[in-house]
């Protein structure tokens, strides 16, 4: 017999018929679409960039670390569609907000994208929709910025619509654990919203961890990344200290890591990159000031990490000077534009600052990155560069090769053999067999 009863959101989730909307198709949103598509849900992706939409509709993937056939496979499933039209936000049964949360020029939280997303949803909000914010932000954002915009429609939280926070836990390029194996936190503004969000995410991850509020989930995400920022700062400061003592910091870390408890290895580098670690401590520090609480420890870590590009440039300058080459006469090749190995992600990459600082001192600078063919325009830099070839002849033509990103595809033995001078910020050449006076660890 025909059942005229309208199917509830919970029933749609259980039967995999709920249409999932994902706002912003970047490093968080696009893999999330894959997860729900693979779980059998129909998915509608939203983005304001028409070029991204055109590429996706043609089956082309602009995030290469996800695989060449990534988008084509989703299109072939028949469950994947994309649009730039915000008026279609009334169609999805669940909308997952994955917009960026950058900093202003004054290192204040910039939530304009979250606000715009919430406003766009509010204009189309209907009964029985679940809204989930995934963007990393300070505690209180879901309840204080998103919720009022949705409630202004006259619809009731927990009855007509539902709102939760589930912090993203994407790590571009990581193979293990898989996204399904990484637990997801669910914090909400009411009990029913928490229940529905948990039910939804259980279809794409093995473990869902409900917490008591959206604020707890928001703060937990910041703690995860502040923890990493602080420990990287410790590793960076140890590098400064031990270098002054002529002690190999990487050997020290390896030795300490033999202890099976009480120590987790973190490694120094030329500065922080990615969307989370360089930004999240500032979100927490800003919110702490609203509560009249200082954040001395967190801010000190930020100062150390922010100082690293300058330190690397000074090491490079000194190493060149010891060989009789002035910086304003030097030709320098920077290896790696991405902020981490084996991905094309350049968000907040310290390589941009290294290049800009070296150029400001008069050096002629090129870069090579097998995954990044040209430098995109960022909020702070517009370098206008393209990746140069990397071979034995080109290596020898530079006064210095500066290793900023240790991609697995790099042959560091070949690089160390043919470069006149290597400045290594990642410890990538430690196992190479070349005269030690040709390598400087910075």
- What residues are labeled active site? 276
- d(Cα 184, Cα 344) in Å, to the nearest integer? 25
Q: How far is CA 197 from CA 160, 194, 228, in A?
A: 15, 5, 28
Hey, how many other C-beta atoms are within 10 angstroms of the C-beta on 116?
14
* Residue that the structure tokens 């590009």 belong to: 309
CA geometry: angle 391, 393, 396, nearest 5 deg: 105
User: Residue 154: helix, strand or coil by DSSP?
Assistant: coil
Pairing assessment for the beta strands 331-335 and 208-210 based on DSSP bridges:
unpaired
399-411 burial, b if ≥16 CB within 10 A, otherwise e?
bbbbbbbbbeebe
What does the H/E/C string look like for 300-358? HHHHHHHHHHHHHHHHHHHHHHHCCCCHHHCEEEEECCCCCCCCCCCCCCHHHHHHHHH
- The answer to whether residues 193 and 163 touch, using CB atoms and an 8 Å cutoff, is yes
Contact (Cβ atoms closer than 8 angstroms) between residue 411 and residue 404: no
For 210, phi then psi, to 5°, come to -70, 140
Which residues, listed in sequence order, are joined to residue 186 by a DSSP beta bridge? 210
3-state helix/strand/coil string of 117-145: HHHHHHHHCCCCEEEEECCCCCCCHHHHH
Q: Are 201 and 39 in contact (CB under 8 A)?
A: no
CA dihedral (28, 178, 375, 348) positive or negative: positive
CA distances from 55 to 49, 50, 62, 343, 374 (A): 10, 9, 8, 19, 18
Question: Do you find a cis peptide bond into 400, omega within 30 degrees of 0?
Answer: no
Residue pointed to by tokens 């209180």: 140
**How many other C-beta atoms can be found within 10 angstroms of the C-beta atom of residue 212?**
10
CA 204/CA 303 separation, integer angstroms: 38
């Amino acid at each position: 017999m025909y059942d005229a009863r309208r199917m509830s959101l919970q029933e749609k989730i259980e039967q995999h018929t709920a249409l999932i909307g994902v706002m912003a198709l970047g490093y968080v949103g696009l893999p999330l679409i894959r997860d729900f598509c693979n779980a059998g849900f129909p998915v509608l992706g939203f983005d304001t960039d028409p070029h991204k939409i055109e590429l996706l509709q043609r089956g082309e993937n602009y995030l290469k670390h996800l695989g060449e056939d990534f988008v084509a496979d989703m299109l072939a499933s028949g469950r994947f569609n994309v649009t730039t039209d915000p008026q279609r936000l009334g169609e999805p049964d669940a909308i997952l907000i994955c917009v960026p949360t950058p900093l202003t020029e004054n290192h204040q939280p910039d939530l304009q994208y979250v606000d715009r997303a919430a406003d766009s949803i509010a204009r189309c909000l209907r009964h029985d929709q679940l809204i989930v914010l995934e963007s990393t932000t300070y505690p209180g954002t879901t309840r204080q910025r998103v919720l009022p915009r949705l409630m202004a429609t006259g619809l009731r939280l927990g009855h007509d619509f539902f709102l939760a926070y589930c912090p993203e836990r994407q790590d571009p390029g990581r193979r293990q654990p898989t996204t399904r194996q990484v637990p997801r936190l669910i914090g909400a503004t009411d009990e029913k919203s928490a229940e529905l969000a948990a039910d939804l995410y259980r279809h794409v991850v093995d473990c869902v961890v409900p917490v008591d509020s959206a604020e707890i989930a928001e703060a937990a995400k910041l703690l995860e990344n502040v923890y990493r920022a602080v420990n990287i700062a410790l590793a960076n400061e140890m590098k400064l200290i031990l270098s002054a003592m002529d002690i190999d910091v990487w050997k020290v870390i390896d030795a300490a890591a033999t202890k099976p408890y009480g120590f987790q290895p973190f490694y120094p580098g030329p500065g922080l990159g990615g969307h989370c670690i360089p930004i999240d401590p500032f979100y927490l520090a800003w919110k702490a000031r609203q509560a009249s609480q200082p954040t001395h420890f967190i801010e000190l870590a930020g100062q150390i990490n922010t100082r690293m590009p300058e330190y690397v440039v000074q090491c490079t300058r000194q190493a060149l000077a010891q060989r009789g080459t002035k910086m304003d006469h030097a030709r320098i090749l920077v290896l790696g534009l991405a902020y981490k190995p084996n991905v094309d992600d350049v968000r907040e990459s310290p390589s941009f600052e290294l290049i800009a600082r070296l150029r400001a001192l008069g050096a002629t600078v090129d870069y090579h990155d097998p995954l990044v063919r040209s430098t995109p325009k960022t909020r702070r830099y517009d370098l206008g560069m393209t990746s140069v070839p990397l071979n034995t002849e080109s290596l020898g033509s530079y006064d210095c090769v500066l290793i900023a990103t240790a991609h697995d595809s790099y042959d560091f033995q070949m690089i160390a053999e043919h470069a006149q001078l290597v400045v290594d910020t990642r410890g990538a050449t430690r196992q190479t067999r070349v005269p030690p006076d040709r390598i400087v660890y910075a």
